[in-house]
C-alpha cells in the first residue's frame, strides 16, 4: 500500500469514526437519516444516496441526497424493488450496470441519472431498511466502499434501536406519570368528599399554580412538580372532622387551630413515599407567609420553598373567588386587591405580580 493510499484510507477512517460518533449520540430518526445520507455520498464519492425503511411489504424511500431527485417519499412493493431484494435476501446488492441486471425495475430508473449502484441492508438478521448509493456512470464499487456502506448501515441500525429503546423508556415514564396524576386526583377527590363546598379547589389551584410558574419562566418539569403538589395541597384535611370543614359560621380559635394542623398532616401522609417527598415538603409550607406569620413553622421568605410561595397565592386567590358555606364568592377584583395589599408582607411580590399580569394583561380565565 503506497503512501497516498495510506493517507486516503486514514482520512476515510477518521471521517467514518466521526460519523459513527454522531450516530451514536443521535436520538431522533430524522437526524439519523440526515447524517447517513450525507455521509454515504461523502465517504463513497457517489452521485446519490438513499435511506430506505421497510414499511410492511413496501420499501419506503424516506431520505435521499443526490445530484438530481430520485424517489424520496415514494413507496414500492418489496418484490419489485432492489432495496426489497436486499432486505429479503439479507445481503448487499452490487450492480455495475442497471440495464444488465434483471433485479432492477428499469421503468423506475429510466428517468433518473442512476447507472450503477450498491445497496446494503440495515440489520442483516431482520432487515428494517436499506442504504444505497448510486453512480451516474457504469462503475464498480471497491470493497472498501462497500465496507464503509455496511459500517454506516450497522451503526444506523444501532442508533435506530437506541431510539426505540429511548422511546420505550419515555413511554413507560409517561405511563408512570399518568398513574401518579390519576392517584393524586383520586386522593384530592377523597378530601373533597369530606368538604363538598371546596369541590375542585385543589385541581383549580393546581392549574393556577402551574400557569403562574409558566409565567415566571420555570421549566416544564418543575411546573409539573408544582402542579402535582398543588393538586393534593389539602390532603391533610382528610384527618379533620367534616363538620368543621363545612361549618357555615365562624370557627372558634380551637377549631381553627385544629384545621391548621392539615398542612403538617399532609406532610406526614406523603413523606414516606420517596418520589413524593419533594411534594410533601412543598405542601407542608403552603400556609407559611414571608413575614413569618404563617403556619405550621412560622418560616420567613428565605426559608420558604418557591413552589410553596406560588401555591400560597393561588390558594388564596381561588378561595376568595369561590363560594364558601360561610360567605359568597368575593370576586376577582377583591382577591387581587387582597394579594396586592399584602404583596411583600404575606405573599411573594414576584408571584403576585405574575398573577396580576395574567389576569389584567393576558385575559386569563380562572380554571373551571
| Residues shown for the chain | 368
Average pLDDT, integer, range 325-343: 87
Average pLDDT, integer, range 251-255: 80
pLDDT digits (tens, 9 = 90+) for 204-238: 999 999 999 999 999 988 999 899 899 888 888 87
Binning pLDDT at 50, 70 and 90, where does residue 323 land? Answer: confident
**Taking a C-beta distance cutoff of 8 angstroms, is the pair 286, 260 a contact?**
no
Grid coordinates representing 301? 421568605
Superfamily of segment(s) 3-166: GAF domain (3.30.450.40)
Higher per-residue confidence, 73 vs 185: 73
Average pLDDT, integer, range 242-263: 77
**Range(s) of the chain covered by CATH 3.30.450.40:** 3-166
**Taking a C-beta distance cutoff of 8 angstroms, is the pair 23, 17 a contact?**
no
Grid coordinates representing 329? 364568592
Task: Put the strands of the sheet holding 58-66 in their side by side order.
Answer: 75-77, 58-66, 48-55, 129-135, 116-122, 93-95
Beta-sheet pairing, 93-95 with 116-122: antiparallel
**Taking a C-beta distance cutoff of 8 angstroms, is the pair 304, 290 a contact?**
yes
Concatenate the DSSP letters of all residues of 275-322 into one string: GGHHHHHHHHTTT--TBS--SSS--BGGGS-HHHHHHHHHHHHHHHTS
Arithmetic mean of pLDDT over the chain: 83
Which of 90-104, 154-168, 264-278 reaches the highest mean pLDDT?
90-104
Q: Backbone dihedral region of 183: left (phi > 0), alpha (psi from -120 to 50 degrees) or beta?
A: alpha
State what percent of residues in the chain have pLDDT above 70: 84
The pLDDT score that the predictor gives to residue 292 is 94
Q: Which residues pair with 59 in a beta bridge?
A: 54, 76
Above 70 in pLDDT, residue 138? yes
* DSSP category for residue 104: S
Distance from C-alpha of 283 to C-alpha of 279, rounded to nearest angstrom:
6
Average pLDDT, integer, range 347-361: 93
The pLDDT score that the predictor gives to residue 7 is 58
Look at residue 77 and give its three-state secondary structure.
Answer: strand
The pLDDT score that the predictor gives to residue 11 is 67
The pLDDT score that the predictor gives to residue 167 is 58
The pLDDT score that the predictor gives to residue 296 is 92
Above 90 in pLDDT, residue 135? yes
pLDDT digits (tens, 9 = 90+) for 276-315: 778 889 999 999 999 999 999 999 999 999 999 999 999 9
Higher per-residue confidence, 14 vs 286: 286
Grid coordinates representing 5? 493510499
142-146, 306-310, 351-355: lowest mean pLDDT where?
142-146
Q: What is the pTM of this model?
A: 0.56
Placement of cell 411546573 in the chain: 223
Average pLDDT, integer, range 170-199: 67
State what percent of residues in the chain have pLDDT above 90: 34
Distance from C-alpha of 64 to C-alpha of 160, rounded to nearest angstrom:
17
Calculate the alpha carbon distances from 244 to 172, 183, 257, 325 in Å.
42, 26, 11, 11
Distance from C-alpha of 225 to C-alpha of 223, rounded to nearest angstrom:
5
Residues 6+ apart with CB under 8 A from 266: 232, 233, 234, 235, 236, 280, 283, 284
Average pLDDT, integer, range 123-128: 85
Grid coordinates representing 337? 386587591
* DSSP category for residue 195: -
The pLDDT score that the predictor gives to residue 1 is 47
CATH of domain 195-361: 1.10.3210.10
Binning pLDDT at 50, 70 and 90, where does residue 365 land? Answer: confident
Look at residue 48 and give its three-state secondary structure.
Answer: strand
The pLDDT score that the predictor gives to residue 9 is 58
Calculate the alpha carbon distances from 254 to 131, 190, 257, 297, 299 in Å.
77, 25, 5, 18, 22
**Taking a C-beta distance cutoff of 8 angstroms, is the pair 95, 117 a contact?**
yes
**Range(s) of the chain covered by CATH 1.10.3210.10:** 195-361
Amino acid at each position: 500500500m503506497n503512501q497516498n493510499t495510506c493517507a486516503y484510507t486514514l482520512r476515510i477512517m477518521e471521517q467514518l469514526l466521526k460519523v459513527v460518533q454522531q450516530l451514536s449520540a443521535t436520538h431522533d430518526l430524522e437526524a439519523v437519516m440526515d447524517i447517513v445520507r450525507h455521509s454515504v455520498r461523502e465517504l463513497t464519492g457517489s452521485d446519490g444516496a438513499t435511506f430506505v425503511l421497510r414499511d410492511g411489504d413496501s420499501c419506503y424511500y424516506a431520505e435521499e441526497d443526490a445530484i438530481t431527485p430520485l424517489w424520496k417519499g415514494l413507496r414500492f412493493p418489496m418484490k419489485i424493488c432492489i432495496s426489497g431484494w436486499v432486505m429479503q435476501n439479507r445481503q448487499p446488492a452490487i450492480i455495475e450496470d442497471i440495464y444488465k441486471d434483471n433485479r432492477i425495475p428499469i421503468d423506475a430508473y429510466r428517468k433518473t441519472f442512476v447507472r450503477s449502484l450498491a445497496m446494503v441492508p440495515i440489520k442483516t438478521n431482520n432487515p428494517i431498511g436499506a442504504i444505497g448509493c448510486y453512480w451516474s456512470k457504469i462503475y464498480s464499487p471497491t470493497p472498501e466502499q462497500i465496507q464503509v456502506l455496511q459500517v454506516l448501515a450497522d451503526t444506523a441500525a444501532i442508533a435506530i434501536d437506541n431510539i426505540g429503546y429511548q422511546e420505550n423508556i419515555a413511554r413507560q415514564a409517561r405511563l408512570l406519570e399518568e398513574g401518579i396524576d390519576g392517584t393524586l386526583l383520586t386522593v384530592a377527590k377523597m378530601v373533597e368528599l369530606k368538604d363538598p363546598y371546596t369541590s375542585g379547589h385543589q385541581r383549580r389551584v393546581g392549574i393556577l399554580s402551574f400557569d403562574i410558574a409558566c409565567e415566571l419562566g420555570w421549566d416544564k418539569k418543575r411546573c409539573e412538580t408544582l402542579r402535582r403538589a398543588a393538586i393534593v395541597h389539602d390532603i391533610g384535611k382528610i384527618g379533620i372532622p367534616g363538620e368543621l370543614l363545612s361549618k357555615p359560621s365562624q370557627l372558634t380559635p380551637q377549631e381553627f387551630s385544629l384545621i391548621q394542623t392539615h398542612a403538617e398532616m399532609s406532610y406526614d401522609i406523603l413523606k414516606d413515599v420517596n418520589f413524593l417527598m419533594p411534594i410533601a415538603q412543598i405542601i407542608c409550607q403552603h400556609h407559611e407567609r414571608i413575614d413569618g406569620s404563617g403556619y405550621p413553622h412560622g418560616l420567613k421568605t428565605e426559608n420558604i420553598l418557591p413552589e410553596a410561595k406560588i401555591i400560597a397565592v393561588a390558594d388564596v386567590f381561588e378561595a376568595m373567588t369561590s363560594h364558601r358555606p360561610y360567605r359568597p364568592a368575593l370576586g376577582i377584583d377583591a382577591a387581587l386587591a387582597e394579594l396586592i395589599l399584602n404583596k411583600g408582607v404575606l405573599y411573594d411580590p414576584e408571584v403576585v405580580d405574575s398573577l396580576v399580569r395574567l389576569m389584567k394583561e393576558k385575559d386569563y380565565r380562572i380554571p373551571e
